[in-house]
Amino acid sequence: MTQEPSNASDLSNRERQIAEDYARGENYQQIADRLCLAPSTVRTHLATIYRKLGVSSKLELRDALSPAQLLWARETPARPEKPSIAVLAFENMSGDPEQEYFSDGISDDIITALSRSPWLFIIARNTTFTFKGSSVDVRRVAEELGVRFVLEGSVRRSGDRVRVTAQLIDGATGGHVWSERYDGRLEDVFDLQDEITRNVVASIQTTVHLSTIQEPVERASRPDLTVWELTMRSWHLLYDFNPKSYAYAKTLLERALALDPESAEANMILSLINHHIAIMGFVPDVRPPMEAAYALARRAIQLDDRNEYAHWALGISCWGLLKYDESLAALERAVDLNPNCSLAYGSLGTLLGILGRSEEAIENQQIAIRSNPLDPSIFFRFSGLALANYMAGRYQSAIEWAERAIHRMPRWFFAHFVLAASHVALEQHEQAALAVNACRDVLPDICIQDLERIPLKDPNKMTELRERLREAGYTRR
C-alpha cells in the first residue's frame, strides 16, 4: 500500500524555513550562511523534507507549498540559528512626556550597536517600537517576531542625573538571563550606553565575543547632549511623512548644526529629510532638496565613514540625480558595515529594481521585511517589490504589491504609477483608469513628470513606463 504524502504542516519550523528558502531559489550555501549551518546539514534537511512531502524536485516542492508560505511576512516567523534579539523601547520613568525622546534614543543606540555584529540577528527599531506604551507578554513578543531574546528596560532622568535599567529575557521561558542598573551623569550617557551594550552581548555566551563591537555606541565627534537631543527628535519626525513634520525637523537640525557643524548624525538626518521632501513631492521643485540631500550625505560620510546610515542616506540621495553606480557602492557599503540594517537592504532592493536586476531586488526586499516586519515605512519595501516584479514582467504580482503599498501609504505616488502601468501591460484598461482616479483623489496634481523623482536607469524602460502611464490616463504635466 502506497504511503500518502504528508503536507507542509508536518514540517518542523526549521524544515519549513529551509523548504521555503530553497523553493524561492536559494542554494545550499546561501541558506547555510544565513542560518549558520553547514551546507551538508541543509542538504540532509532537504532530503527529509522531500521524503515528508513526497516530492522529488524543486518544482514539485514549490507546488507543495502554499503561496502564503512563500511570503516573507509570516505571522510567526521561524527563529534564526544565530542569537536573535528584539530590543523594546525603554520606558520613560521621568514623569515628563517631553523626555520620551531620551529613553527612545537610549534604546535606538543600543539597537544600532548590537546590529553591527554579523553574529547577531536584530529586529529593527521601527518594528519593536510598535509595542511601545503597551503592557506586553515578552514570550508573545518573542514568538511574534521570531526571536529568542527580548531586551527591555527603563530610563529615569532627574536633573543632570540618569538611571538606566535593562534586562535580557529568554523569550522561550520568560526567565531573566541578565539584568543590571546603571547610574551616571548626563555627560557620561554615551559611556552608559556602551556599557549596557557590551554586557548584553557578553551575557549571551554564544559565538558572540566582545571584540565584535569595537566601536563605541554612536556619538558625535564632540559629544554634546543638546545636539544629540535635537537629532533624536528629528529622527523620529522622519517617519511622520508629512511636510509640517519635515519643516520642523529641518529647523531642529539647523540648530544642531549651528552648535556642532561636525555632527555626522545631524548631517545624515538632514540629508534624509531633504530626500524624503523630494521623493514625496512636498515642494514644487524637487531638484534643490535632492542636491542638498546628496551634499549632506557626502558630508556625513566625510565626518564618519563607519556610519552605515550615512552611506544609506548617500545611496538613496543619488537616485534622482542619476548617480546609479555611486548609489550601489554606498548601499553595499552600508550593508557591509551593518549586516542587520534593514533600511539599507530595502533601499538596495529598490535600487536593484531601478537597475532592472529584479531577482536580486526581491531577495534584498525580503531580507528587509523579515528583519523589520512592522516598519512604518514598509510601504517602500512593498513598492520596491512591485517595481521588481514589474521590471521582470510579472505584472499581476506587481499589482498585488503595489496595492499593499498604497494601502499602507495612499500618498505614495510611485506605487500608484506601478499599479496603473501594470494594469495597462495586462490590457486591463478599465482597472488602469480606476487606479488613476484613485491616485488623483489623494494626489490631485500628480503627472507623469513626477516619475523623474525616481527614474529607471534603462531609457527604453522609462519610455515604456511613461507611455503606459499616459495610456492609463495620466497627463505629462
CA angle 375, 378, 381 (to 5 degrees): 140
| DSSP states of 183-240 | EEEGGGHHHHHHHHHHHHHHHH-SS--GGG--SPSS--SS--HHHHHHHHHHHHHGGG
Backbone angles phi, psi at 169, to 5 degrees: -120, 135
| DSSP states of 58-109 | HHHHHHHS-GGGG-S--SSPPPPSS-EEEEPPPEE-SS-GGGHHHHHHHHHH
Specify the pLDDT at position 103: 84
Does the pLDDT of residue 367 top 70, yes or no?
yes
The count of other CB atoms within 10 Å of the CB of residue 325 is: 11
What sign does the dihedral 114-120-125-131 (CA atoms) show? negative
Walk me through the domains of the chain, giving residue ranges and CATH numbers. 8-70 (1.10.10.10), 84-212 (3.40.50.10610), 220-339 (1.25.40.10), 356-477 (1.25.40.10)
For the chain, percent of residues with pLDDT exceeding 90: 48
Does the pLDDT of residue 209 top 50, yes or no?
no
Q: What is the pLDDT of residues 95-126, one digit of tens each?
A: 777 778 778 888 888 888 788 776 678 998 88
What residues form DSSP beta bridges with 179?
167
CA angle 358, 364, 366 (to 5 degrees): 100
The DSSP 8-state label assigned to residue 2 in this structure reads P
- pLDDT tier for residue 71 given thresholds of 50, 70 and 90: very low
What sign does the dihedral 214-215-216-218 (CA atoms) show? negative
Specify the pLDDT at position 75: 47
pTM above 0.85, yes or no: no
Tell me the three cell numbers of residue 49.
523534507
Nearest-angstrom CA–CA distance, 351 and 377: 16
Specify the pLDDT at position 208: 37
Nearest-angstrom CA–CA distance, 426 and 437: 18
Nearest-angstrom CA–CA distance, 79 and 138: 15
